[in-house]
Amino acid sequence: MLTTGFKLWFGIFVAALGAAVFGGYTSGGDETGPISFAWKGTVGNHVSYGLLMTAAAVALGLALFSVAFRDGDAEAAAELLDTDDAPPAQRPVGGSWWPVFAALGVGATAVGVVVHPAVFVIGICAVAAIAVEWTMTNWSEKLSGDDAHNAEHREKLMRPVEIPVLGAAGVGVLVLAVSRVLLASSANGAVVVATIVGVVVLGGAVLISRNPSLPRGIVQLVLLVGFVAVIVAGIVTAATGEREFHQKGGDTYAPDTQSGDGH
């Protein structure tokens, strides 16, 4: 039976291999070069082909290790290593939203390459922040068997960084996304959108402050949905483009048509 880890890494291997072959053909490779690993023929762009093939080789190796050790199963590892005692199994951890956020960040980056540089910057910032957060979450979950102890150590290490850095980055991303929405709206529509956003933010803050007993999970979910909605709106409006701005008034230059005698 194929394990989950094997399916993941083998899928990455197939994707990287397909991308390498496709890139080899589209960048100037001949009929046999990309499928023969440049043994017979040329592969076009050697740098991209080499990087993608390296990624495919690494993914294939990890896939084989995953299926060999059965994704870290203790009994399978003991059998493979020919030992009497099974190594300690990894403590199970809960679900995580970081893969979902990472997919959104990668998607925004890919869309930004085609649509608008601002969207690309948003995607890059999101991917960088998610990579750090996901890594630290994975580290903290393996500190001990006590979830509260692990969460406490994670917050002690990351809160001094998360609050100022992610707060500033989040505000910058939101401002950039809202600006795309306002620039794509009409003159009156921009006023309406800004008013609605301000009322929703103010009303949500008042509601949360008046109900301090609200579960933390509900507050986080509401903020997450609102953040994603603004980002999606910014990406969509950036793809549609800005409205046309027409300058009103102003003096126009009129050439001197008077004759040489002053009349």
Contact yes or no for 191/182 (Cβ under 8 A): no
Does 158 score more than 70 pLDDT? Answer: yes
- Rounded CA-CA distance 6/65 in Å is 8
Does 139 score more than 80 pLDDT? Answer: no
Does 115 score more than 80 pLDDT? Answer: no
Lowest mean pLDDT among 37-41, 130-134, 141-145, 211-215: 141-145
Does 258 score more than 60 pLDDT? Answer: no
Does 76 score more than 80 pLDDT? Answer: no
pLDDT in tens, 4-28: 888 888 999 999 898 888 888 888 8
Question: What's the pTM?
Answer: 0.47
- Domain range annotation of the chain: 4-81, 98-240
Average pLDDT over residues 227-254: 70
Burial class for 62, CB neighbours closer than 10 Å (0-12, 13-18, 19+): middle
